[in-house]
Chains A and B, each alone.
Chain A
Amino acid sequence: KMSTNENANAAAARLNRFKNKGKDTTEMRRRRIEVNVELRKAKKDDQMLKRRNVSTLPDDATSPLQENRNNQVTAHWSVEEIVKGVNSNNMELQLQATQAARKLLSREKQPPIDNIIQAGLIPKFVSFLGRADCSPIQFESAWALTNIASGTSEQTKAVVDGGAIPAFISLLASPHTHISEQAVWALGNIAGDGSMYRDLVIKFGAIEPLLTLLAVPDLSSLASGYLRNVTWTLSNLCRNKNPAPPIEAIEQILPTLVRLLHHDDREVLADTCWAISYLTDGSNDRIEVVVKTGLVPQLVKLLGCSELPIVTPSLRAIGNIVTGTDEQTQIVIDSGALSVFPSLLSHHKNNIQKEAAWTMSNITAGRQDQIQRVVDHGLVPYLIGILRKGDFKSQKEAVWAVTNYTSGGTIDQVVYLVQAGVVEPLLNLLSAKDSKTVLVILDAISNIFLAAEKINETEKLCLMIEECGGLDKIEALQSHENEQVYKASSTLIEKYFSAEEEEDQNVVPESTAASYTFQIQGNTPNTFNF
């Protein structure tokens, strides 16, 4: 169960743009809209929402438990035996039973989470969390609960309903780092379930003690695994929408995220970037909260690193920021982001290409000087390269980028685009099996025609389109099943490729068999005003 971000779904919002040409550019921006419905399998690139702790402690020399001693004893307990042990009054037995449960829950395949829940063990485990007198049982139960919470929403709910949140928050302050770390992890799983539990964790006051864990002069002094866990949990507190996390919580977390963004551990960096990508995935004022911390230049620096796990979320974050205002977009541009795009737009991972093209589409939806920066950085040929041979999802985004460019660009900019060879690959994509993409391409063509008309190059453009086989494609689209597609293609054909009539009804004369009657028609305006 992972996040489902999707770029191009603002269908209704986008359609407005076709009907209302010349609207301000913010309407052209396409947010990363969370779709409620997803047909696809969840994406592998996304950050984990919940994680189960499946490490095997025996070999871990630093283990505070004398695992080796107990290992044989607790290896294969049945759930019944565990219940018996946990319910006994013998502390040692309870510990062994809890450990046995933890081991069951940590096995690679099909941990019996539901059996454990149904056995009514959760309240017991939660109560063990408070046993400061016996840190091993705190640890074992915390681990067991972490793994239960890593399951389905139902399973997480069982943990929350058992009262685990406040208990875990108390454990954050445990003097034993391995216990506080386990509590961090558990809270991460709970918060990762969705907006509701995330906000519950926040409401119970998890943020402050979590941040306190990182309140050391030098982050390198913390164990790397520990730091990673805290970062991950913080990122889950930033995650999910509908509703987004409370703005105060974000403002509280952000300074720490900025600090983490300068740390040199790649996993920490990756999760921090994920956190920032979540925080920027929203309205302009949410983006503003992030941008005003001044983290964009560091984010851009990370965008340019070659580590895929870091590039992926930082590109998402950058992509999100440019869905914001022109000013927010400008900050990204001024931080030098565009110089990274040649490599992103030709990245070997399709998904990076796609996200990069999506980002471009929102920059080309901006001001003409911003479009010019795209041109100056030599990015147009890369976009055309994607149109030509990218995978389909990237091509779709590049189509948007080109269409926005043609819609907002100056005549010179459009001329440059055409000279750079956009027409052929763009028109080839008219055979795409996606009505929306086809419509967006037709919109781009019509924009290019508008520019061509202004410089008297309509005829040349018509020939270019015919030469590359585009005319055949547009003609074929006149019988497309989608009404908007066939209307848009018919309009293009009528306007530029045929001598179809369009008459001003106020001017058309009456006629007799012998001649037309030269006269002013009835509804002459009282005053002319051009």
Chain B
Amino acid sequence: MELSDANLQTLTEYLKKTLDPDPAIRRPAEKFLESVEGSQNYPLLLLTLLEKSQENVIKVCASVTFKNYIKRNWRIVEDEPNKICESDRIAIKANIVPLMLSSPEQIQKQLSDAISIIGREDFPQKWPDLLTEMVNRFQSGDFHVINGVLRTAHSLFKRYRHEFKSNELWTEIKLVLDAFALPLTNLFKATIELCSTHANDASALKVLFSSLVLIAKLFYSLNFQDLPEFFEDNMETWMTNFHTLLTLDNKLLQTDDEEEAGLLELLKSQICDNAALYAQKYDEEFQPYLPRFVTAIWNLLVTTGQEVKYDLLVSNAIQFLASVCERPHYKHLFEDQNTLTSICEKVIVPNMEFRAADEEAFEDNSEEYIRRDLEGSDIDTRRRAACDLVRGLCKFFEGPVTGIFSGYVNSMLQEYAKNPSVNWKHKDAAIYLVTSLASKAQTQKHGITKANELVNLTEFFVNHILPDLKSPSVNEFPVLKADGIKYIMIFRSQVPKEQLLLSIPLLINHLQAESIVVHTYAAHALERLFTVRGTNNTILITAAEMAPFVEVLLTNLFKALTLPGSSENEYIMKAIMRSFSLLQESIIPYIPSVITQLTQKLLAVSKKQYTFSKVLFVGIFLLISYNCSVIISFPEFIPYVFQVMSLLLEMHKNEIPSSYMALFPHLLQPVLWERTGNIPPLVRLLQAYLERGANTIASAAADKIPGLLGVFQKLIASKANDHQGFYLLNSIIEHMPPESVDQYRKQIFILLFQRLQNSKTTKFIKSFLVFINLYCIKYGALALQEIFDSIQPKMFGMVLEKIIIPEIQKVSGQVEKKICAVGITKILTECPPMMDTEYTKLWYVESSSSVGEVPSMLSTSLNAEALQYLQGYLQAASVTLL
């Protein structure tokens, strides 16, 4: 393509067409541009247009097209043709910087991006003058130009923050430092001076502060890998100025926006990051400056408002303090009682306060609130940062900090007591404070697992949590109710059982609260409480202890599903499930009382024409006909439906009812098995079918056996679910009449061998061992040996040697170990080839003193004594199994 006016004209027209909303015009134009982008001069034509076009829209369009072109084509991939001709490359590099700097901001950004893409490939070797070209512009005094340079530099250098150290990288950084560090420092100083000369000029300040933000970011990148000599020598200049900026305020820079951080906040945040970087990595050199920064940052915290726009700054600043106070040699900066008190009072307590924004979320966006508050996605919030600071301080000052906070907690509680309806937020903060002070380690599964011993959790519970929950009005002070319920939930392993039992009816009562957060927390707390295990690893709260509450529990749980906003509430559904499995048959008397609401609920759901797979409706109506059911309204519910169904099926004493059998084929549908959450309950349900209805399946649904085995095959293919596949397979082996699965047996083993060959895991091997031993018990050792060797000669020996002997000890679980013990004994004693072929040499059973444990196998021959022992062992084990 010539660099001609005609071509510029053509290009202009096509660019214009790429903006057309009509795809019939737009697409061909895009196609055309793609087809010519390989031509020489194409990028130069674009550069000309973005500089000289009469129409602004064409300029912008050309700049975007240019950037994308560079992104796609600049990199030279080995063994692929060079997509941009050398002369164009040279011309682009020669012109792009001045062009970028003289362009309006919109275009400048595109070109700046393009420069960093080119720089990533060519800088420094193939673009040696880039740095000098950029640095020279610092002297221009034109901050539009300077900011362009700084922005480009930032995009070129920011990778220093995450790349691994290498000679290549460090050579580049050194080169950059040599050319850039001094001019940057001078620019920094000059810019700060200009800030004071223009202290009253808002628009000038804005430009200057954007420069300072970029300079502070560049400082971070250039200092990230190691402390450069230059910056060590000039630490005084940088740190003194950073410190000043941290303490600076200027009304003109304050923004009205409540949400979006302004330049001042951005700059201060970055300075906190810079100080944190130095404190972490260059502690020795930074030590003289650190105390000043600690003071400045904490003063900053004391004076910064509650608005959302300060959140990043505040959480950065608090995190800085948290990281410093954990370091032993800075302990002294914090240990003074007055200092601690003022940090607690002025930094921690205010940032733990429940803000307007939190209140809004509590009421209007409960899902988000729960996610943050309950599931820990609060990493960047102020509360979380404050909480981290408490934990940091507690490392050295647990006693004093606990003491100081106890004072605050008490005074906040007094404030609350004076006028609860006005001062309820004080109590919220008090509870939050106690929680963060007391919790030293926490998991989703167990709640708090390690607590600060200086906090009397039970006393606080009895005096301040229980009274709130005992209040007859469940809708009063919903935030405090939620706090109290959360307290029970997270301290469930610390609060004594009798207190937990006291709280159960209260929690059940709060299932009726209107607030979504409150009734969700109540359901969640109940669900969690039902899983707590006591000293001997048994469930702490028994069905008997729950007996007085069963009816109201079930009623309230189901009613909660009718509360506005909670018709699809997963926490409630889980609580229902957990209640069913805890309460077992004691729920049966109450089924009629809940069934009416359920039916209505179901009808409402079906009216919505929700596209459930047919199976679910079959399932639901089936269950209704059996006087029990569960609601389904969203996919999240499906697993619970299956759980309920299997619970019910397991309760059947007799053969499986025919209505259940009608459902059976639908349970084999792949669509159900694609969702991981469905798998455990579905497997359990199929196991229940096999346990109760194996004969029925064999006689009336024999054509479904391949489908059943298909499910097994699907599960066995997955590393995550293979154990579920084995559960199913074991049930098939245990319950199905042998002749009904005869024809599939070999295939089953081949599939297992494939997994063993290609992708075995410890978990797979363990399940596999249990299965073959079960098989051996069911069909006999000879049958096992025959089926192995029919797939491949000597297979049995190989499996013995490579899998069974070395791995059998890994099998865990009482029943599993017993199965293996019996199975192996059978292999040893009932399998003639074992006795008189070369297999014999593999065996020696170490006499094990405890019956029921898997004997260790060693490769020596089996002696008579051991054989005798085994016989007895076999008997003993068989008896326990049967």
Contacts and interface: CB of A to CB of B under 8 A. Distances in A.
Interface of A: 8-9, 11-12, 15, 35-41, 350, 389, 391-392, 431-436, 439, 453-454, 456, 463, 466-468, 472, 476, 480-482, 484-485, 499-509, 511-520, 524-525, 527-530
Residues of B in contact with A, size category:
35 or more
A255 B665 CA distance: 88
Interface in B700-718: 704, 706-707, 709-714, 716-718
A392 B276 CA distance: 12
Contact of A530 (B162, B224, B671, B802): B802
A150 B691 CA distance: 92
A148 B747 CA distance: 88
Nearest to A482: B162
Nearest to B791: A528
A41 B229 contact: yes
Contacts of A506: 754, 758
Contacts of A519: 713, 747
B850 interface: no
Contact of B710 (A350, A392, A435, A516): A516
Nearest to B766: A456
Interface in B792-833: 792, 795, 798-799, 802-803, 810, 812
Interface string B264-302: 000000000000010011111000000000000000000
B841 interface: no
Which 3 A-B residue pairings sit nearest by Cβ, starting from the closest? A516-B710, A515-B707, A507-B717
Given A9-B167, A482-B162, A499-B720, 9 more contacts: A11-B166, A39-B229, A392-B281, A392-B282, A431-B323, A515-B704, A516-B713, A518-B707, A520-B751
B792 A515 contact: no
Contacts of B284: 350, 391
12 contacts: A9-B165, A11-B166, A12-B166, A39-B228, A41-B227, A392-B282, A466-B442, A481-B161, A482-B162, A502-B720, A515-B668, A515-B711
A504 B754 contact: yes
B165 A528 contact: no
Given A467-B441, A506-B758, A39 B225 contact: yes
Contacts of A433: 161, 224, 277, 280-281
Contacts of B762: 453-454
A39 B174 contact: yes
A514 B757 contact: no
Nearest to B719: A502
A519 B719 CA distance: 19
B575 to A, nearest CB: 21
Contacts of A515: 665, 668-670, 704, 706-707, 710-711
Interface string B713-751: 110111111000000000000000000000010010011
Contact of A389 (B166, B328, B376, B450): B328
Nearest to B709: A518
B441 A436 contact: no
B434 interface: no
Nearest to B704: A515
Contacts of B709: 518
B49 to A, nearest CB: 34
A39 B181 CA distance: 12
Given A433-B224, A501-B720, A506-B754, A467 B443 contact: yes
Contacts of B676: 499, 501
Given A482-B162, A514-B707, A39 B170 contact: yes
Contact of B744 (A503, A504, A505, A518): A518
A439, A466, A472, A528 — most chain B CB neighbours (10 Å): A528
B91 interface: no
Given A467-B449, A513-B669, A513-B670, A518 B706 contact: yes
Given A515-B710, A519-B747, A530-B757, A391 B283 contact: yes
Contacts of A509: 710, 713-714, 717
Contacts of A501: 676, 718-721
A466 B803 CA distance: 34
Contacts of A453: 762
B227 A507 contact: no
B443 A466 contact: yes
Interface string B91-116: 00000000000000000000000000
Given A476-B379, A515-B668, A507 B792 contact: no
A504 B281 contact: no
Given A511-B710, A514-B707, A524 B756 contact: no
A518 B750 CA distance: 12
Given A504-B719, A530-B803, A435 B757 contact: no
A528 B792 contact: yes
Contacts of B711: 515-516
B365 interface: no
Interface in B770-810: 791-792, 795, 798-799, 802-803, 810
Given A392-B281, A472-B376, A518 B710 contact: yes
Given A36-B171, A39-B228, A392-B281, A529 B714 contact: no
A519 B707 CA distance: 10
A500 B161 CA distance: 31
A435 B162 CA distance: 6
B747 A503 contact: no
B228 A40 contact: yes
Contact of B167 (A35, A40, A507): A35
Contacts of B665: 514-515
Contacts of A431: 323
A514 B670 CA distance: 7
Contacts of A15: 164
A431 B161 CA distance: 13
B445 A463 contact: yes
A516 B328 CA distance: 62
B838 interface: no
B712 to A, nearest CB: 8
B309 interface: no
B485 interface: no
Contacts of A525: 754, 757
B450, B751, B756 — most chain A CB neighbours (10 Å): B751
B167 A36 contact: yes
B162 A480 contact: yes
Contact of B720 (A41, A500, A517): A500
A500 B677 CA distance: 11
A520 B670 contact: no
B755 interface: yes
A3 to B, nearest CB: 15
A104 B224 CA distance: 43
Contacts of B704: 515
Given A511-B710, A514-B669, A525-B754, A11 B719 contact: no
Given A40-B228, A501-B676, A528 B710 contact: no
A511 B162 CA distance: 45
Contacts of A480: 162
A411 to B, nearest CB: 12
B86 interface: no
A484 B164 CA distance: 10
Contacts of B441: 467-468
B257 interface: no
A70 to B, nearest CB: 40
B654 interface: no
Given A37-B174, A516-B714, A520-B750, A507 B755 contact: yes
